[in-house]
Amino acid sequence: MGNYFRKTRTRFHITKTKRLLETKNSWEKIKPNLSNINIKELRNFVAETVNGYGLKEASHFLRNI
């Protein structure tokens, strides 16, 4: 039963919330660059713009928007 609860909880929930709010605040910087056709440049831009986002998380963010 202990493993059930562990899998349903978000790891680092406070940090994750803070990062999502920072992304929301950075949206006005990111939005004009979404028309960039070169996805690698766009991913690198998002990784540099949002504090705490690396290349992997920037890729996930772009995939999900």
What DSSP assignment string belongs to 15-52?
Answer: HHHHHHHHHHHHHHHHGGGGG-S-HHHHHHHHHHHSTT
Instruction: Specify whether the CB–CB gap between 42 and 36 falls below 8 A.
Output: yes
Per-residue pLDDT tens digits for 1-60 = 555 555 667 777 778 888 888 888 888 988 998 888 899 999 999 999 988 889 999 999
The rounded radius of gyration (Å) of the Cα atoms in the chain is 14
Range of the domain at 27: 2-64
What's the total number of domains in the chain? 1
Single-letter amino acid code for the residue at 39: I
- CA distance linking residue 44 with residue 55, whole number of Å: 7
* Residue where the block lists tokens 């998002």: 46
Query: What is the value of pTM for the model shown?
Result: 0.68
